[in-house]
Amino acid sequence: MSGDANHSGPALAGPVAHLRRAVDTVDGLSRWVIVGTMAGMALLVSAQVFMRYVMNSSIDAADELSRLFFVWSIFLAIPHGVRRGVHVGIDVVARMMPHRVQDALHRVSAAAGLVLMAAVFVTALGAASDKWGELMPTLPVTAALYYVPVCICAAHAALHLALFTVGGVHVWGADAWKEGRA
């Protein structure tokens, strides 16, 4: 590491700080929804196992509902990995660059990811719209519920990528791993 370690730090004031607080609030809400979907999935699968092996019966919608909970929890969790920078990336060459170049590359990469998330959002929104009239086989709800979390994921991840684009790689600082308000 060179002496320019303070090339960008946590945003403390201005529009970037407001965006950071907004994203932190969305993260907090998202975490609670993830907890709810994971709990729903675990309880439903446990109830299904009990019903099947103890009661010799079955919950008709258990497979479909547990799959739906799983899809929601996975797609809602993806943006949390974006915040923390834990998704797979190849940065061997970038890490050999000076900090200013690394920051510029990270901002360009975040901007490209932002464009990708916009494309994912529009595509998922179209898929959800196409499926809205279809019902799930065992539940009287729309099959589009499988595409809604993809839209939410893309929008939430886009917020993180926008924050990285304007605030730099260190916009969260040590707060990237903190739960709740930074």
Q: Is the pLDDT of residue 9 over 80?
A: no
Label residue 72 exposed, middle or buried (CB < 10 Å: 0-12, 13-18, 19+).
buried
Q: What digits encode the pLDDT tens for the residues 28-87? A: 999 999 999 999 999 999 999 999 999 999 999 999 999 999 999 999 999 999 998 888
Kindly state whether residue 122 falls inside one of the protein's structural domains: yes
- In whole angstroms, give the CA distance from residue 147 to residue 42: 21
Q: Is the pLDDT of residue 27 over 50?
A: yes
- 5 versus 144: the higher-pLDDT residue is 144
Label residue 89 exposed, middle or buried (CB < 10 Å: 0-12, 13-18, 19+).
exposed
Kindly state whether residue 38 falls inside one of the protein's structural domains: yes
Number of domains in the chain: 1
Kindly state whether residue 50 falls inside one of the protein's structural domains: yes
- In whole angstroms, give the CA distance from residue 26 to residue 159: 9
Kindly state whether residue 109 falls inside one of the protein's structural domains: yes
- In whole angstroms, give the CA distance from residue 7 to residue 99: 7
* Cβ neighbours around 175 below 10 Å, total: 15
Phi and psi for 64 in degrees, rounded to 5?
Answer: -65, -45
Domain of 164, in residue numbers? 14-177
Q: Is the pLDDT of residue 173 over 90?
A: no
Kindly state whether residue 6 falls inside one of the protein's structural domains: no
- In whole angstroms, give the CA distance from residue 103 to residue 118: 22
What does the pLDDT read at residue 6? 43
Contact between 79 and 30 (Cβ < 8 Å): yes
Rounded to the nearest integer, the mean pLDDT of the chain is 89
Kindly state whether residue 147 falls inside one of the protein's structural domains: yes
Kindly state whether residue 37 falls inside one of the protein's structural domains: yes
- In whole angstroms, give the CA distance from residue 148 to residue 132: 10
pTM: 0.85
- In whole angstroms, give the CA distance from residue 159 to residue 143: 27
- In whole angstroms, give the CA distance from residue 20 to residue 168: 12
Token look-up 């061997």 returns 92
Kindly state whether residue 2 falls inside one of the protein's structural domains: no
